[in-house]
């Protein structure tokens, strides 16, 4: 399943690339992309995007860009 989320306060393209790389390393993620231009995160998984997975993704995002928020 593919889901897209809006990002808020993503400040640089380099941070977006770092987030994308880190999210793609998570176990349940089949593919992820972070677009600095559109301020969007797209996550593709084999099943549903669970709350647990979203917590892991949010943790990765905060580690790279502390002010960035994922709008659910």
Q: So what's the pLDDT on residue 26? A: 96
Domain that holds residue 65: 2-71
DSSP letter assigned to residue 10: -
Half-sphere exposure (CA, 13 Å, Cβ side) for 27?
4
What pLDDT, in 10s, does the model give residues 19-60?
Answer: 999 999 999 999 999 999 999 999 999 999 999 999 999 999
Q: Residue 54 is part of a domain; what is its CATH number?
A: 3.30.70.100
Per-residue pLDDT of 52-67, as tens digits, reads: 999 999 999 999 999 9
Closest CA to 3 of 39, 47, 37, 38: 47
Number of domains in the chain: 1
Half-sphere exposure of 67 (CA within 13 A, CB side): 6
In this prediction, residues 14-20 reach a mean pLDDT of: 96
pLDDT-derived band at 72 (thresholds 50, 70, 90) equals confident
Do 65 and 8 touch, CB atoms closer than 8 A?
Answer: no
Token pair belonging to 17: 């690339």
- Cβ atoms of residues 28 and 72 within 8 Å: no
pTM of the model: 0.92
The residues that bridge with 4 in the sheet, in sequence order, are 42
């Amino acid at each position: 399943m593919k889901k897209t989320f809006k990002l808020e306060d993503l400040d640089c393209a380099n941070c977006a690339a770092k987030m994308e790389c880190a999210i793609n390393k998570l176990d349940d993620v089949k593919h992820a992309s972070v677009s600095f231009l559109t301020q969007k995160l797209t996550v593709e998984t084999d099943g549903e995007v669970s709350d647990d997975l979203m917590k892991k993704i949010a943790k990765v995002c905060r580690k790279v860009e502390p002010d960035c928020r994922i709008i659910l």
